Structure 1
């Protein structure tokens, strides 16, 4: 009895996953905590992988998520956002949330590996999803498994007919929304995702198909739209962002910049090279959009951390990548003061 209590106490105080996840059961971790022997080579291999995963997570959190948070906070405070401001605010938050929480998960997994403990993978490139069901198989995987095991299946799952299945989807995700916070915006966010899953299931049952690119565009934009309610303090806050995204205020300065760029294409000049160089000098992009484009490229076109760990081999390239991450984070932290709180600690 005493040994069981000590083992369980060790499990619940295992700090890498204690606060925000990945969500694990004692069956996943306890056998690893009480095992007697481990190969030294495997232990060292896990330590190296752990440091590598931690460095990636730290970079994602400090260099990307915290930088985007500045524009997100500013955008949600503005009134009467124009088209460009609204879209940059929503996209910045969509990317901030992903890099913040996946960064934390990478750091937790990395810290656990330093103790030779393997935590479950929590993110699998969720913004590559081409439908809402695929998204929830990739986003906060341990939460999806928790909701499936302790809510959806006990409610009856998909075993009691289509109508009951649809109701179970809605109940599961409404409660999942309330799990993040006791507010109407969280409830509505859960309702949106539950409804999307119902529509997706009906779509599948009717045998409809869609081009992969179009499916991705619809899925990503729905997710981006739903995150607005997840971030907003009230429906009025969400409404002002959505109005701006629909262009109901104004389009901002983007149209003017395009006209200025096009006008330079017709400048009469003797030097043909100038016809190429001059227009390029007119192209301007704000820092926030540079961050958004680069962050989106990382989310869509690079291997996620779990894939990097699975294919990890000690090399100069990986060593330099880890060192670069730590150096970048160091200079960010000693520079201007920025938010370092993990977003998901609030939910």
Structure 2
């Protein structure tokens, strides 16, 4: 049924995922058969597995990007294949790389082909994660207690799934309207009359930060909720990342399973922080370069990864100083207030760096990113109504009139925009995330869940695709 779910997108891609599952399983089986021998006898199978998986993702995701750059640098004219990216290939390929490496290390059990195939194709997390390890999922498949309906898990799963769906459809898609309009203008009119103004850029980049967060976080909540309905625990992928006060902390909270994969299967094998400071910084840059490349075939993603790597290295370099400053501030009169101010400034700098770096992440090209950044030097405080139309609050005009406040249509839209951004900040900074929340089976939970679910169903005519489907 998971393969049917995957094939519904495009039946022809079933051949890709099924071939990938079969080949990786055979390679891991070969390594298990050599489990009692030296690692060097298993190494050829490991190398073949990595070459196969990296080659698969390279062909479908990066072939045209590679050829484009070859044509640009060497003035050649090789034809592009315009390959359509198979759904979820980045996720199920990384998941299988982790399995092949664990098999090489002798850390996998003697799983059946059916268990392995279900581990790779399990539909809740197949197309956009989380990136699950075999040790987390396959033992649950084997647990006979999980093969019977358990209504507490079912109700908790429905509540988590519904809240995740609400994040996507009611919040992320609202911000997405402003983002789509802003980048359409940035593409059509890179400079001069009609280009984005300073307030518009601030709205667009902040809206994209919230769109990306609520979209991907919502998907992860939906995957976890679906898993709970079947009595399976799918690992947390988000831990309130916008509460982070440094980039290092952000990556401990954002896309946790990708961070875990890159740490376990890239950073540590490279030597981690065990070979001196210089090597630590080089390994950190390699990890973030891989992260950037993994997200997409464009120089924008590569430079986005490099920028995060540079800031991560700066954080490693200055972390001790930051801790000393906070400790010193805490010992001064009004130390709690001063320490709070330092943390608030750290949070603001971190969040603004994320927003600016995500301009590059969302942009069509590095040139577009540079053009948008240059607009900060042009003093223009106008905000077009078309940009903030998605924030319209029905009948809000009458509330402003009742309060004897300006009630023009533009004022209604601008007020709706500001209130939406403030509400998003409150949700991200003050509320428990869906993994921390206690799900109570009472009348209030029932009504709240059904209200969100009905609102989402009513909104389905205008739904947009999940952002991480592109990655």
Q: What is the TM-score when the length of structure 1 is the normalising length?
A: 0.86
Q: Are 2:222 and 1:107 aligned? A: yes
CA separation of 1:81 and 1:38: change in aligned 2, threshold 3 A? closer
> What's the counterpart of residue 142 of structure 2?
34
Q: Are 2:469 and 1:345 aligned? A: yes
| Structure 1: distance between partners of 2:427 and 2:219 | 17
> What's the counterpart of residue 123 of structure 2?
15
> What's the counterpart of residue 91 of structure 1?
206
Q: Are 2:165 and 1:58 aligned? A: yes
Unmatched segments (≥5 aa) in structure 2: 1-28, 30-109, 190-194, 327-341, 385-401
Q: Are 2:429 and 1:300 aligned? A: yes
C-alpha contact 1:50 1:112 (8 A) present in aligned 2: yes
Higher alpha-carbon deviation: 315-324 or 90-99: 315-324
Q: Which has the higher contact order (CA 8 A, sep 6+)?
A: 1
Q: Are 2:402 and 1:252 aligned? A: no
2:363 aligned residue (210, 220, 232): 232
What is the deviation of 1:4? 1.1
CA separation of 1:233 and 1:223: change in aligned 2, threshold 3 A? same
Q: Are 2:162 and 1:162 aligned? A: no
What is the deviation of 1:13? 2.1
C-alpha contact 1:151 1:172 (8 A) present in aligned 2: yes
Q: CA RMSD in A?
A: 2.2
Q: Kindly provide the CA deviation profile for residues 241-293 of structure 1, in whole angstroms up to 9, marking residues without a partner as x.
A: 3233x242522269xxxxxxxxxxxxxxxxxxxxx954576865523333222
CA separation of 1:330 and 1:247: change in aligned 2, threshold 3 A? farther
> What's the counterpart of residue 350 of structure 2?
219
Q: Please give the residue correspondences for 1:242-321 in structure 2 after superposition, counting only pairs within 5 Å.
A: 242-244=373-375, 246-252=376-382, 278=404, 285-286=413-414, 287-308=416-437, 311-321=438-448
> What's the counterpart of residue 120 of structure 1?
235
| Structure 2: distance between partners of 1:73 and 1:253 | 15
CA separation of 1:3 and 1:76: change in aligned 2, threshold 3 A? closer
| Structure 2: distance between partners of 1:327 and 1:209 | 50
> What's the counterpart of residue 17 of structure 2?
none
| Structure 2: distance between partners of 1:253 and 1:34 | 57
| Structure 2: distance between partners of 1:115 and 1:318 | 20
CA separation of 1:58 and 1:21: change in aligned 2, threshold 3 A? same
C-alpha contact 2:163 2:218 (8 A) present in aligned 1: yes
| Structure 1: distance between partners of 2:424 and 2:111 | 47
Counting matched residue pairs gives: 319
Q: What is the TM-score when the length of structure 2 is the normalising length?
A: 0.64
Q: Are 2:112 and 1:4 aligned? A: yes
C-alpha contact 2:197 2:383 (8 A) present in aligned 1: no
C-alpha contact 2:200 2:383 (8 A) present in aligned 1: no
| Structure 2: distance between partners of 1:10 and 1:278 | 61
> What's the counterpart of residue 271 of structure 1?
none
CA separation of 1:38 and 1:340: change in aligned 2, threshold 3 A? same
| Structure 1: distance between partners of 2:470 and 2:456 | 23
Q: Kindly provide the CA deviation profile for residues 126-180 of structure 1, in whole angstroms up to 9, marking residues without a partner as x.
A: 0010111110011000011011001111111011111111111111001110000
Counterpart secondary structure, 1:182: coil
C-alpha contact 2:140 2:146 (8 A) present in aligned 1: no
| Structure 2: distance between partners of 1:35 and 1:212 | 45
| Structure 2: distance between partners of 1:321 and 1:307 | 18
C-alpha contact 2:244 2:250 (8 A) present in aligned 1: yes
Q: Are 2:454 and 1:324 aligned? A: no
Q: Kindly provide the CA deviation profile for residues 172-216 of structure 1, in whole angstroms up to 9, marking residues without a partner as x.
A: 001110000121100100011111110011111345535111110
CA separation of 1:3 and 1:91: change in aligned 2, threshold 3 A? closer
> What's the counterpart of residue 135 of structure 1?
250
What is the deviation of 1:330? 2.1
> What's the counterpart of residue 42 of structure 2?
none
| Structure 1: distance between partners of 2:124 and 2:412 | 43
| Structure 2: distance between partners of 1:289 and 1:206 | 36
